[in-house]
Structure 1
Amino acid sequence: MFHFSGLTFILTYFCITTSIFGSIEKEPQCVSRFDYEFKVVQKLAELENKLKEQQQTIESLQHKCTGDVVSDNQVAFSASLTGDMTSVPNHRIIIFNEVQTNVGGAYNGKTGIFVCKIPGVYVFYWVTTNKDRTWMDSELVINGEKRGQTFSDAGNHDDYSVASNIVVAELRFGDQVWIRSGTWHNGNLAGSHRTSFSGWILYMR
């Protein structure tokens, strides 16, 4: 009976110690259960610290990458008309030839067309000016579709008349935006930077 109980005790002790200390190679070497639990907690703390360091590294990289993306995706332009326009036909694109600001290079001062390179929500603002008994209606157009309109009319006076409007629109890559003359006008616009077109991205999509 003694030999059986001793053998059972030895086997039981061997199984317990093996399962605790020897079954996993990466577990800490310990001399007691308290020592084992302490070292496990210590190991978990080390792993937690490493995870925090990795998280900080990831956040730092994300911040750098996000900063690069934002700087590469800023869009804003402002252009104006330098000379007076006369005899403008219906639906003629108004070319704001002097470009003061063109962050992102999306507005073309030779064609008068803004081409979306970064999908997102944009704000467009334009001003038309007429002088000395002339009048003009203008339209903001996106891909051939009228999205906004202005009308400036000096009436029967030798004076200036100004009109403006603003349009907020969601654009996809390649969408085109421009200002054109309408259909009720006598074909005149005042230059000297009194007629202008501006736009900027509100946020990306």
Structure 2
Amino acid sequence: MSAKCFLIPRILILVPIIAFINGNPTSSSQLDQNASSGSNDRLDVRLLMLQLTELVSRDNELTSKVADLISSTARLEEKVAGLERDRLRIDERMKNHDRQVTVLTRNTQRQVKESKREVSSVKSRNKILQRLVKEQKNDISYLKEENMDLKEQLKESGQLVERYRLLGEKVVDHEDKGVHGGFYDVIRKSDSEISAFSVAREFDQSGNSSHFVVITYDKVDINTGEMNPETGVFTCRIPGLYQFFFSVCVTAGGRAFVRLVRNETWETGLYSELGELVQSQGILMALTSNDTVHLELGMNDAFGVCGNRFTVFHGHLLYRA
């Protein structure tokens, strides 16, 4: 409210008072009647004038104060407007902050999900590794058992060699009997009682995806004639109980399935995918005349056995039928 609006009601109050003081002309009779009280009225008028003057002064002071209040109110309104603008800026910053928090929360949740997937993947790989370790432990245990069997077979082979040596000692020398002595001479002399072979591969051999491949041999240690190293087939000449043993080394990074076949019948075998690890197998079989025994490599181009005499095949007669 402006200062002029504040002064209007006070001016309206002063107007009738001033009019009363100045007054309109009165009649002489009235003046005569009021003569006695004229002096008192003048005193009242003077007092009233003083009061009016004081009221006007106060009214001016109030008007000044009202103007100051109006000015202060305007400044406060400007401050309030400034605070409102600050509030709006703060609200906008809070909205931006909330948006950033939302984005960070989503990113964090995504990272947590990815971490969980990675942990799950690591656990799966760990389970696979544990299974592989367990399988390798089983393989090691199996190889240990095979090693024990090999030791037993070597012991039996040693006993067989001792038998051959004893037989050799019984052979008369060249002067007495006209027969050349020695171990292989015993074998030649005792063809009707002995049947044995020991062959190996010097070079690698690969499989074929269309058919089984018979393993052949290019290194012969012992052969009484029943093993054909070029075809890889042993043909029984003396019926009886035979012991066969074979050892296979898989080519580097490869795998192999090798089986022992008697007369086109699969008797035993082994499978390996460890690469460059020698695995062995043995069997006892009763054979009759003209029975055949050989080793076959499985139907797969990826199958292969290595040479360097790591792939070997042994067999010998234990007892005649």
Deviation digits for residues 161-194 of structure 1 (CA, Å, limit 9, x no counterpart): 2211101100000000000012467121100101
Matched with 2:218 is 97
Structure 2 residue aligned with 1:117, among 237, 245, 251? 237
Whichever residue aligns with residue 200 of structure 2, its letter is S
Are residue 194 (structure 1) and residue 304 (structure 2) matched?
A: no
Structure 1 residue 109: Cα displacement = 0.9
Asked whether the equivalents of residues 248 and 312 of structure 2 are also in contact (C-alpha less than 8 Å), the reply is yes
Deviation digits for residues 105-157 of structure 1 (CA, Å, limit 9, x no counterpart): 11001110000000001001001101321000100000000001111222xxx
Alpha-carbon distance between aligned partners in 1 of 2:208 and 2:218, rounded to the nearest angstrom: 16
Matched with 2:263 is 143
Structure 1 residue 69: Cα displacement = 9.1
Using CA pairs under 8 Å that are at least 6 residues apart, name the structure with larger relative contact order, 1 or 2: 1
- 3-state SS of 1:131 partner: coil
Alpha-carbon distance between aligned partners in 2 of 1:114 and 1:98, rounded to the nearest angstrom: 15
Aligned positions, number: 133
Whichever residue aligns with residue 124 of structure 1, its letter is F
CA RMSD of aligned residues (A): 2.0
Q: Percent identity?
A: 26
**Which ranges of structure 2 fall in alignment gaps of 5 or more residues?**
1-187
Alpha-carbon distance between aligned partners in 1 of 2:207 and 2:298, rounded to the nearest angstrom: 13
Asked whether the equivalents of residues 85 and 188 of structure 1 are also in contact (C-alpha less than 8 Å), the reply is yes
Matched with 1:168 is 284
Distance change (3 Å), C-alpha of 1:87 and 1:75: closer
Normalized against structure 1, the TM-score is what? 0.60
Structure with more helix by fraction:
2
Larger Rg: 2
**Which ranges of structure 1 fall in alignment gaps of 5 or more residues?**
1-67
Structure with more strand by fraction:
1
Asked whether the equivalents of residues 124 and 168 of structure 1 are also in contact (C-alpha less than 8 Å), the reply is yes
* Equivalent residue runs for 1:67-86 within 5 Å: 72-86=192-206
Structure 1 residue 87: Cα displacement = 4.5
Whichever residue aligns with residue 121 of structure 1, its letter is L
Alpha-carbon distance between aligned partners in 1 of 2:247 and 2:208, rounded to the nearest angstrom: 17
Normalized against structure 2, the TM-score is what? 0.39
Alpha-carbon distance between aligned partners in 1 of 2:207 and 2:215, rounded to the nearest angstrom: 12
